[in-house]
Structure 1
Amino acid sequence: MADPSQIIQVVGALLVLAGFAAVQANRMSPTQWSYLWLNALGSSALAVLAWLGRDWGFLLLEGVWALVSWWSMGRKVAHRGDGRGHATVQEDTTEGQADGHRERSVHRQ
């Protein structure tokens, strides 16, 4: 039976390489969710295995790769409503409203 860590290493590497190959073949953009997920999951799995195996150089490479991938996804979520082609939701508190609720208005930029 195959060592589970070896299976995880191969799957993690295939995820990262699939995203890379798809971008190189112009089948995917490096800002697409699918690309970011492939990189985040693949490099995170490889980083954990590198840490467990005390492979510090490999941990540095995959750890940074994973952090950048997760950070990129966080930025993508944070910038959904900042006017980069998406609708922004603005909450305004109007003084004197009888019910005290906030008004929500959607503005396209």
Structure 2
Amino acid sequence: MNLTDWIGFVGVSLILLAYILNVTNKISNTHVAFILLNFIGASSACLASILLNYWPFIILEGVWALVSLLTLFRYRKLK
């Protein structure tokens, strides 16, 4: 595996970890850890997709990261 693969692998793993923790009721989808895992994971997966020049996932992960970032800002305002 090259560096791009590792970046993508880590990103997708973080997104999956957030999902697994949520569906097993370990964290809620409003918990800051869930939001951060999604933001960091989607940003990493987006970066890997950019390095691969694969537009469908650049768009998917870019939007996912943006929504997570906006949610993080909203979460911070509420606290």
Shorter-normalised TM range: over 0.9
Gaps of 5+ in 2: none
Q: Which of the pair has more CA radius of gyration?
A: 1
The root-mean-square deviation of aligned C-alpha atoms, in Å, is 0.9
**After the TM superposition, which residues 30-49 of structure 1 pair with which residues of structure 2 at under 5 Å, given as runs?**
30-49=29-48
Aligned match of 1:27: 26
Aligned match of 1:16: 15
TM-score, normalising length from structure 2? Answer: 0.93
**After the TM superposition, which residues 49-68 of structure 1 pair with which residues of structure 2 at under 5 Å, given as runs?**
49-68=48-67
Greater RCO (CA < 8 Å, at least 6 residues apart): 2
Gaps of 5+ in 1: 81-109
Normalized per residue, the structure richer in strand is 1
Q: CA deviation at 1:52?
A: 2.4
Q: How many residues align?
A: 79
Normalized per residue, the structure richer in helix is 2
Large movers: runs of 4+ above 3 Å: none
Please give the alpha-carbon distance, in whole angstroms, between the structure 2 residues aligned to 1:7 and 1:59. Answer: 16
Aligned residue identity for 2:76: V
Please give the alpha-carbon distance, in whole angstroms, between the structure 2 residues aligned to 1:19 and 1:49. Answer: 19
Q: CA deviation at 1:73?
A: 0.3
SS of equivalent residue, structure 1 residue 22: helix
Please give the alpha-carbon distance, in whole angstroms, between the structure 1 residues aligned to 2:11 and 2:26. Answer: 20
Aligned residue identity for 1:50: S
